[in-house]
A and B are shown apart, each in its own frame.
Chain A
Amino acid sequence: MIFGFLPIAVMLATTFLIPLVSLKTEKYIIHTTLAGLFLSLLLSISMIPDVLSKGRVVYQMEGWKAPFGISIVFDPLSVFLSVAFIFIVLLAVVFSHKYIKYKKTEYYSLVCLVLVGTLGVINTGDIFNMFVYLEILSVSSYALTAFFKKKESLEAAIKYLIIGSLATSLVLLGIAFIYGVLGTLNMADIAVKVSGTANPVIGTALALIITGMFIKSGLVPFHAWLPDAYQASPSPVTSIFSGVTTNVGMYAVLRLVFTVFNPVSVLLWMLMIVGAISMLGGALLALVQNSLKRLLAYSSISQMGFVAVSVGLGTQTGLSGGVLHIINHSIIKGLLFLCAGFIVYQAKTDNMHEISGKFKFNPVIGYSFIIGALSLVGVPLFNGFVSKWLIYVATFQVSPVLTVLALVSSALTLAYMLRAFYLVFLCNAKPGAKQKKIPLSMQLPLIVLVGIIILLGVFPGFSIDISNLMVQSLNKQQYIGAVLT
């Protein structure tokens, strides 16, 4: 079988088709994009039974044997993450049908390219290939940040461009070091060879790559680009950034630390410290924001901190909590940013104090927002509870101090989400606030996401099973055995 790359290939073909479709009219762009996304989602889902029965499906691109060509590895981790990410992008595209009114060709092409980059990074088994697709993802994100061409969005895009290019060049330098020492780029081959070498360059290379990936996922010492980029970009794009692109960095860290290299204690300590700082720092900074999207952006940093802390524990429970929190966070933040996008679309402003009067309470948006907020805090019966509970348990087994920090951050999460909810929805008693008709294409994604949040929260066993499967796929020996047959 050589057709495993089909989800990526379909997205790539969609990207190339969009400019051709818009040759005469822009009417059919949304249809093309949605068709491509649906096809890609179906292909990804159809891969799940195969992956679950075999544990790991490996495709050698162009038929070259493993270390010589590029191998694409589908394991439960990558397949479930791909499904979740394609789904988030699909809903964001549905949302942007009425939101984006001009430059549709470029917009939808770039959104598809973000997804191409994400799928490429997640499914690859080759570190240089990971870099190439990370570059696609980054370049399209820079362009999408500047979509509105206002002063602040251009400034945010330039900031993102400079910091992001620094990150990708660090990653490239690390990959070059690894290739220089080991002479191979295949992840499984590196995993075999790295155990026999005691060269300090490997450590430096890993440090460079992980720093780059931390910058990409916006953890606290490297978070300067994130709030600006989130605030300035169009809201569906923000939902994609928060739900998809920042998680790619965490995925790469997981894969590199646990599968390719060995999880030595220095790395785990680094993950835990950076995670704890961003968990608390993000939450504290979110408390003082006046802009709704900026608040959610800092909250995103805080949740990525949870993921980093949980992953840094290195235990089975910690890993499954972290991996599950990636998926849950992308669902919840997808929902919250779409809500924020709707509010900004109606009120024409981002400042929470100014929103109050300009926007009439709408049940769909209001309930979606409060459900998302509670789920982000980790209230039972919502999906955020499952992963946060796993994180608390895992941190308690290793060091209770971290549990206290996580609980404090959750309390702060409750504080800032309630503040946002109060400012936006509850103190707008002004009558006569004008109410636009809500298009169905904007309501539908919110309803679907709320449904998923409640389903995953009411039946936690399902998601815990999935997260355990995903963590098992990080096993080094099985990975090497499957790729280098």
Chain B
Amino acid sequence: MDVIVKTISRILFPFILLVGAFIAFHGHLTPGGAFPAGAVIATGFALLVLVFREPDVEHKLTVSELIDLKSVSGIFLMILILSVGSLFRKELTELQTPLKLWSGGFTLFSNVTGMFMVITAIVLILYSLVRE
């Protein structure tokens, strides 16, 4: 790719991550949440894959790392939703102040973990589709 495109996307990529992270971390306050945040961040990776060659990106962030991240976040999400969410919700909401970042019970954690699930899913499918 062109050097301009490369430079611009190198500059743009952290901001895309930032927007995605903002959407995920503010999911319980503003419209958004895990799925949009994951989609936004995955578009950042799509940009990298299209601009730099796919093997180079995959060298930095390998498939096995992504799958492991996906599995770990899946287990974490399962524990969060199935046990922690039902056992400690009341205690957690009493510690927090509503309408602040630190609120929403365990929804904050779920949003971030769910975001990782979405990112890994889209990036893995993207890798597979671009390579073959």
Of A12, A13, A16, A18, most B-chain CB atoms within 10 Å: A16
The answer to whether B89 touches A16, judged by C-beta atoms less than 8 angstroms apart, is: no
Residues of chain A contacted by B104 (CB below 8 angstroms): none
The answer to whether B72 touches A62, judged by C-beta atoms less than 8 angstroms apart, is: no
Determine if B82 is an interface residue (Cβ-Cβ < 8 Å).
Answer: yes
Interfacial residues of chain B within 81-132, with CB under 8 A of chain A in the complex: 81-83, 85-87, 89
The answer to whether B68 touches A12, judged by C-beta atoms less than 8 angstroms apart, is: no
Residues of chain A contacted by B68 (CB below 8 angstroms): 19-20, 23
Determine if A17 is an interface residue (Cβ-Cβ < 8 Å).
Answer: yes
Report Cα–Cα, A23/B75, bound state, in Å. 16
Residues of chain A contacted by B83 (CB below 8 angstroms): 2
Residues of chain B contacted by A131 (CB below 8 angstroms): none
The answer to whether A62 touches B81, judged by C-beta atoms less than 8 angstroms apart, is: yes
Given A19-B67, A23-B68, the answer on whether A2 and B86 have CB atoms closer than 8 Å is yes
Report Cα–Cα, A61/B84, bound state, in Å. 12
Which of the four size classes fits the interface of chain B? 10 to 19
Residues of chain B contacted by A15 (CB below 8 angstroms): 74
Given A9-B78, A12-B78, A13-B78, the answer on whether A20 and B86 have CB atoms closer than 8 Å is no
Q: How far in angstroms is the closest Cβ of chain A from B7? A: 36
Q: Taking CB as reference atom, which chain A residue is nearest B106? A: A62
Q: Would you give the 0/1 interface string for A1-43, flagging 1 where the beta carbon is closer than 8 Å to chain B?
A: 0100100010011011111100100000000000000000000
Residues of chain B contacted by A183 (CB below 8 angstroms): none
Determine which of B67, B70, B71, B85 lies in contact with A62 in the assembled complex, contact meaning CB atoms within 8 Å: B85
Determine if B64 is an interface residue (Cβ-Cβ < 8 Å).
Answer: yes
Report Cα–Cα, A17/B70, bound state, in Å. 10
Determine which of B70, B81, B86, B87 lies in contact with A19 in the assembled complex, contact meaning CB atoms within 8 Å: B70
Determine if A63 is an interface residue (Cβ-Cβ < 8 Å).
Answer: yes
Residues of chain A contacted by B87 (CB below 8 angstroms): 2
Residues of chain B contacted by A17 (CB below 8 angstroms): 71, 75
Report Cα–Cα, A16/B83, bound state, in Å. 17
Residues of chain A contacted by B70 (CB below 8 angstroms): 19
Residues of chain B contacted by A62 (CB below 8 angstroms): 81, 85-86, 89
Report Cα–Cα, A254/B75, bound state, in Å. 33
Of B74, B81, B87, most A-chain CB atoms within 10 Å: B74
Residues of chain A contacted by B75 (CB below 8 angstroms): 13, 16-17
The answer to whether B78 touches A63, judged by C-beta atoms less than 8 angstroms apart, is: no
Report Cα–Cα, A12/B81, bound state, in Å. 13
The answer to whether A16 touches B82, judged by C-beta atoms less than 8 angstroms apart, is: no
Residues of chain A contacted by B67 (CB below 8 angstroms): 19
Report Cα–Cα, A17/B86, bound state, in Å. 23
Report Cα–Cα, A15/B75, bound state, in Å. 9
Report Cα–Cα, A13/B67, bound state, in Å. 15
Chain B interface (Cβ within 8 Å of chain A)? Answer: 64, 67-68, 70-72, 74-75, 78, 81-83, 85-87, 89
Apart from A9-B82, A19-B70, A63-B89, what are 14 other A-B pairs with CB-CB below 8 Å? A2-B86, A2-B87, A5-B82, A12-B78, A13-B75, A16-B72, A16-B78, A17-B75, A18-B71, A19-B71, A20-B72, A62-B85, A62-B86, A63-B86
16 A-B pairs in the complex with CB atoms less than 8 angstroms apart: A2-B86, A2-B87, A5-B82, A13-B75, A13-B78, A16-B71, A16-B74, A17-B75, A19-B67, A20-B71, A20-B72, A23-B68, A62-B81, A62-B86, A62-B89, A63-B89
Chain A interface (Cβ within 8 Å of chain B)? Answer: 2, 5, 9, 12-13, 15-20, 23, 61-63
> 7 closest A-B pairs (Cβ-Cβ)?
A16-B74, A62-B86, A63-B86, A16-B71, A19-B71, A19-B67, A16-B75
